[in-house]
Amino acid sequence: MEFAEAMPADAYDFSPMKDERAFHEQLTHLCGNMIWLSTSYLGGEGLASADTDDPPTKKEEIIKLIRESFEYTAQTIEAFDMTQIDEEIEFFAGPMSKRKVLFLISDHLTHHRGQLVVYLRLKEIEPPKYRGW
């Protein structure tokens, strides 16, 4: 959330290179991934605002989507039946347990958070400090 708030609204279309996602695309990608993993593998029931055909591009819309996505993912994880944690699922990268899907959500967020650090620094904005758990 702090990364989304740190970037000025007029820089949401910034991309460090032509083949890289714009800042707003990085953020909507994070949201879409959390929702997809939660819905497809952890029993979530879907989130209508995760429309990948028409993702938001404006700062205020994306901040709203980020809040909804984190709330949805947290609620899905809280409701998850932990007796299924080691159940194997078919994943595009090969079979994995639902436990690994939970780790994947965190790992994917961390991966793109690192990219967002670079976006902000290229705009001469000091990124939010890292916070552990």
Q: Are 25 and 19 in contact (CB under 8 A)?
A: no
pLDDT recorded at residue 54: 79
The Cα 9–Cα 97 span in angstroms is 39
Q: What is the pLDDT of residue 53?
A: 73
pTM across the whole model = 0.91
Kind of pairing between the strands at 88-89 and 96-97: antiparallel
In CATH, the number for domain 2-122 is: 1.20.120.450
pLDDT score of 133: 64
CA angle (15, 30, 95) in 5-degree steps: 125
Mean pLDDT of 82-92: 95
What is the pLDDT, as a whole number, of residue 69? 94
Give the domain ranges of the chain.
Answer: 2-122
Q: Could you identify the residue written with the tokens 């299924």?
A: 84
Collapse the DSSP code of 92 into the 3-class scheme (helix H, G, I; strand E, B; otherwise coil) and give the result: coil
